[in-house]
């Protein structure tokens, strides 16, 4: 049985996952205003992926017979950032999510809550992938540039990635 403290930590992470979805939706809208359809589709796919993460945690709490307490989701910061800065902000965000998941996992281990620790391993692995993907995009933007042909090439690659993400998560890109 899951402790109330652990359920509260996972509940707070559900809120962070919903915020992440909202964050990516805002970035998708920003990319749309920049006429970067591939980038917008990639962020929209990430939006769907984050909703899936929140619902996995929701289902876990329900399956553990724990109360799910939903709280308000903060509005993400809007801005007029360029593409490189958007992805740098994305990496900062993903690193914060990784830290939060690691904190929850540390708590599960301290409580000897093996079921929750096992459940959280999927999210730990997911965060490694998330950060690596965004790091790769940033590297490509720095190498090829965030303007002109280089940006067009990266935008087209992100469109293809969005289709892959949508296929594997069931999210619509």
138: CB partners within 8 A, 6+ apart: 84, 87, 88, 91
Tens digits of per-residue pLDDT, 64-89? 999 999 999 999 987 778 899 999 99
pLDDT at 166: 59
Mean pLDDT of the chain: 92
More confident residue, 80 or 105: 105
pLDDT at 107: 98
pLDDT at 173: 34
Inside any domain, residue 146: yes
From CA 58, how far away is CA 10, in angstroms rounded?
8
Q: Which CATH number goes with the domain that contains 126?
A: 1.20.1260.10
Inside any domain, residue 139: yes
From CA 103, how far away is CA 48, in angstroms rounded?
24
pLDDT at 80: 76
Inside any domain, residue 15: yes
The boundaries of the domain holding residue 9 are 4-168
Inside any domain, residue 52: yes
Inside any domain, residue 173: no
Running DSSP on this structure, what letter comes out for residue 76? P
From CA 95, how far away is CA 50, in angstroms rounded?
14
Inside any domain, residue 148: yes
Inside any domain, residue 100: yes
Quote the number of domains for the chain. 1
């Amino acid at each position: 049985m899951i402790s109330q403290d652990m359920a509260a930590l996972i509940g707070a992470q559900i809120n962070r996952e919903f915020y992440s979805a909202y964050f990516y939706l805002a970035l998708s809208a920003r990319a749309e205003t920049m006429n970067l359809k591939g980038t917008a589709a990639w962020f929209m796919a990430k939006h769907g992926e984050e909703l899936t993460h929140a619902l996995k945690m929701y289902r876990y709490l329900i399956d553990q017979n724990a109360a799910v307490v939903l709280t308000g989701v903060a509005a993400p910061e809007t801005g007029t950032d360029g593409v490189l800065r958007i992805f740098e902000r994305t990496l900062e965000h993903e690193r914060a999510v990784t830290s939060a998941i690691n904190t929850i996992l540390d708590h599960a281990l301290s409580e000897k809550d093996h079921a929750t620790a096992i459940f959280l391993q999927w999210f730990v692995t997911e965060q490694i992938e998330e950060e690596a993907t965004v790091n790769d995009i940033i590297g490509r933007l720095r190498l090829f540039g965030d303007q002109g042909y280089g940006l067009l090439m990266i935008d087209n690659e992100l469109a293809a990635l969005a289709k892959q993400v949508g296929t594997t998560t069931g999210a619509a890109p």
